């Protein structure tokens, strides 16, 4: 899936070397047997294997990153992944040390159902609300690959 306004469609090369290294790592790594933790892939690209239980969407917040793309890949479980444009959001909290900003809930947004084997690429211009339950809360194993802009 590629989610972008047409004005940004050519701003980034989603097939440049860093992205290709990330996609290759996801395809060739035995993720079912990879422990939670951080794994450097190449310069400017790090995979973070996470384990958590999803929660009701109302308990989460939309977030953005200035310095990194996220490639979010579901290993097991499922989640409803919130998406909207960053423009026009109202800032609630800024954590520059962690490159994350959180926002008030927008009036309108959408979601994508992520199932095992699915990934979504989130650019700095995209806001996203991860870890939301798709139905009842459930345990999820996910990789979030951080790709430096």
Q: State the pLDDT at residue 12.
A: 79
How do residues 12-49 score in pLDDT, each as one tens digit?
A: 777 899 999 999 999 999 999 999 999 999 999 999 99
Q: What is the CATH number of the domain that holds 12?
A: 2.60.120.370
Sign of CA dihedral 78, 52, 121, 5: positive
**What are the distances in angstroms from CA 146 to CA 31, 56, 76?**
16, 25, 19
Residue 1 lies in a domain: no
Tell whether pTM > 0.85: yes
Q: State the pLDDT at residue 42.
A: 97
Name the percent of the chain in helix, strand, coil, to the closest 5: 15, 45, 35
Residue 3 has pLDDT above 70, yes or no: no
Contact 62, 109 (CB under 8 A): yes
Q: State the pLDDT at residue 4.
A: 66
Task: Give mean pLDDT, residues 104-131.
Answer: 95
Domain count, the chain: 1
How do residues 83-100 score in pLDDT, each as one tens digit?
A: 999 999 999 999 999 999
Residue 39 lies in a domain: yes
Domain residue limits at 40: 6-148
Contact 117, 78 (CB under 8 A): no
Token pair for 41: 């892939």
Contact 60, 104 (CB under 8 A): no
Residue 2 has pLDDT above 70, yes or no: no
How do residues 62-73 score in pLDDT, each as one tens digit?
A: 999 999 999 999
């Amino acid at each position: 899936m590629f989610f972008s306004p047409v004005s940004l469609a050519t701003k980034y090369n989603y097939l440049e070397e860093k992205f290709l290294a990330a996609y290759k790592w996801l395809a060739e790594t035995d993720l079912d047997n990879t422990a939670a933790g951080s794994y450097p892939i190449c310069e400017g690209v790090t995979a973070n294997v996470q384990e958590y239980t999803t929660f009701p969407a109302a308990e989460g917040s939309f977030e953005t990153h200035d310095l990194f793309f996220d490639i979010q890949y579901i290993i097991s479980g499922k989640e409803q992944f919130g998406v909207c444009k960053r423009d026009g959001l109202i800032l609630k909290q800024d954590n520059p040390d962690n490159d994350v900003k959180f926002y008030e809930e927008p009036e309108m947004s959408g979601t994508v159902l992520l199932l095992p084997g699915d990934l979504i690429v989130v650019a700095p211009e995209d806001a996203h609300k991860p870890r939301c339950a798709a139905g009842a809360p459930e345990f999820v194993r996910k990789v979030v690959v951080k790709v430096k802009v």
